Chain A
Amino acid sequence: MSDIATQDFDRRNRDWYIDKLVQLVVFFGGISAIVFIIGIFVFITKEGFGFILNTMDPVEFFTSPYWEPSDEDAPEYGILALIAGTASVTGLALIVAIPFSLGAAIFVGEFATGKTRELLKILVELLAAIPSVVWGFIGLTIMNPIIIDLFDVPVGLTVLNAGIILGLMTAPIMTSIAEDALKAVPDRYREAAEAMGATRWQVIFKVVLPAAKNGLLGAVLLGVGRGFGETMAVLLATGHSVNIPDSVFDSVRALTATIAAELGETAVGSDHYQALFTIGIFLFVITFVINLTADLVVRGVRKG
């Protein structure tokens, strides 16, 4: 019994303290994401706050279509046209991306098997990796002349161009998230329906899609967030002119692209500089809401 009594469970040794130290260190890593997201909000607000307090007329800011910050006598800070630019491009992108990515997700997830499936998934993943500046370059150099020739219009850098580019960009991401949502539907649902004599497409439309509804909606929302925040591609492919578009053949300018194009020319702390940060705050808040909604929607399905 004596050797048992010598075992000491009441003394903390080196390993015990190392463990506590590691726990502390990784905890700081864990909260880093929270720190950074708050940090982003704090710093962009700090830079843009002076403008919001002193210069900005909130009604004019959101309802005026005139964005002329570099006019020395009477600068105008209205982002309505920029919002219209972003909305039109994102909207068109979604029209392009949603049907194709859902179709592709259904094909990859429900029809394709074995090697075909693997290959398609890899292709989709690689497409999602193409940098946005390359997409913008494609819009500028390849899509532009095609649109001019095809529709006989003077300029090819338009809502149409940027919408298609952005659609092609977001589609792979939406495809893989949507495919995950389909995969999350338990196989027993499919088996139960098939046991009742349903064919594959009946199973998909009557069972799988309704069950994956929330996940698919989440995929679409994340696509919206992506399109909304995309910068380089829309900078290069929209034509970059402040304009509320009448048709898809109009050039527009997006919120993100405005910041990218103008931040370099402004003096730190100037009204213009602060106005650009205010647009940044607006973008941050909108994408935050979109991402939050997407998360709540997707989580809803997990609980149910």
Chain B
Amino acid sequence: MVVQPGQAAEESVSGQILTVKDLTISYGGVPALSGVNLDIRENEIFGIIGPANAGKTSFLKAINRMDMFTAGMGVQGEIRFCGQDVQTLKNVYALRSAIGVVFPLPVGLPMTIYDNVALAPRLRGIKARQDLDVIVERCLERAALWDEVKDRLDSLGSLLSGGQQQRLTIARALSQEPTLLMLDEFSIAVDPVTTMRIEDVLKELRQEMTIILVTNLVQQANRLADRTAFFLQGSCVEVGDTATLFTGGAQDQRTTDYIEGRFG
């Protein structure tokens, strides 16, 4: 508890978990995303929609500081997570462990299913087998994968089917007990049935955490998101209540055009 009480209080008044001010991201000096200002509230599902190359993935990378692994990626502006500027904090690993990430392509790590899910707790220093057993079972259950894999927890996570690997990735993210869960076009490599199951999972998770849902499916945002941002060609065009945006209430004509499928 090194965060100043006053500062923490100030940030939590509005219930905002993430505030982004004048964010600009560039690759080798070429801007990929610029002038983004938005707030993400606690326990909401925040949708981000937009065509390819809008800067959605770069946005997520900047939040959990994965930019430091990408050569030439530069981030300017301010991102505050739980009141702290992610650019200047001393321990980016602690930041990342508070943020779960699900990638477009499922990544089952080449270790057993059990070890996949136990990895994050182990990184936190949990060693006792019975504690890990509880976490693994709970996370796999919440990711709707437990019933399929409970008899073969010792098989390799990287050899599961695509849909199963994606749910494994979600279970792994949940095992971090994240404050924020970020999903980047999770349904791209997943069959529709699994997509619907994962969507149900997300609706339940909203009780406990904040979710940023980057999606290429406009209707997915409509089904799940409380508020939605529309990214286009490196800028954030509009942020609004999903219900408003999807019922013709968008401020910007391009948002309406995109939502109604006139381009994209």
Interface residues in chain A, defined as those with a beta carbon under 8 Å from any beta carbon in chain B:
1-2, 4-13, 15-16, 19
Given A10-B84, A11-B2, A5 and B94 contact (CB-CB distance below 8 Å): no
24 contacts between A and B (CB under 8 A): A1-B15, A1-B42, A4-B12, A4-B82, A4-B179, A5-B11, A5-B12, A7-B98, A8-B2, A8-B91, A9-B81, A9-B84, A9-B86, A9-B89, A9-B92, A10-B90, A11-B2, A11-B91, A11-B94, A13-B91, A13-B94, A15-B93, A16-B90, A16-B93
In the complex, what residues of B have CB within 8 A of residue A16's CB?
90-91, 93
A270 to B174 Cα, complex, angstroms: 73
Given A10-B2, A11-B2, A5 and B83 contact (CB-CB distance below 8 Å): yes
Inter-chain CB contacts under 8 Å: number? 59
Given A1-B42, A4-B82, A5-B3, A12 and B98 contact (CB-CB distance below 8 Å): no
12 extra interchain contacts, Cβ-Cβ under 8 A, other than A9-B84, A16-B93?
A4-B12, A4-B179, A5-B3, A5-B8, A5-B11, A7-B82, A7-B94, A7-B179, A10-B2, A10-B91, A11-B2, A13-B91
In the complex, what residues of B have CB within 8 A of residue A11's CB?
2, 90-91, 94
Which of these, B3, B15, B90, B95, contacts A12 with CB under 8 Å? Answer: B90
A11 to B2 Cα, complex, angstroms: 8
Do the beta carbons of A10 and B3 come within 8 Å of each other? Answer: yes
In the complex, what residues of B have CB within 8 A of residue A12's CB?
90-91
B17 to chain A, nearest CB (A): 7
B60 to chain A, nearest CB (A): 17
Q: Quick one: closest B residue to A7, CB to CB? A: B98
Interface residues in chain B, defined as those with a beta carbon under 8 Å from any beta carbon in chain A:
1-3, 8, 11-12, 15, 17, 42, 81-84, 86, 89-95, 98, 123, 179
Q: Quick one: closest A residue to B88, CB to CB? A: A10
Do the beta carbons of A9 and B94 come within 8 Å of each other? Answer: yes
Do the beta carbons of B90 and A9 come within 8 Å of each other? Answer: yes
B134 to chain A, nearest CB (A): 20
In the complex, what residues of A have CB within 8 A of residue B11's CB?
5
A1 to B9 Cα, complex, angstroms: 9
B90 to chain A, nearest CB (A): 5
A27 to B8 Cα, complex, angstroms: 39
A144 to B90 Cα, complex, angstroms: 71
A93 to B63 Cα, complex, angstroms: 60
Do the beta carbons of A8 and B12 come within 8 Å of each other? Answer: no
In the complex, what residues of A have CB within 8 A of residue B3's CB?
5-6, 8, 10
Q: Quick one: closest A residue to B97, CB to CB? A: A7
Nearest 10 pairs between A and B by C-beta?
A5-B8, A1-B12, A9-B89, A9-B95, A9-B94, A4-B82, A10-B89, A10-B90, A7-B98, A12-B91
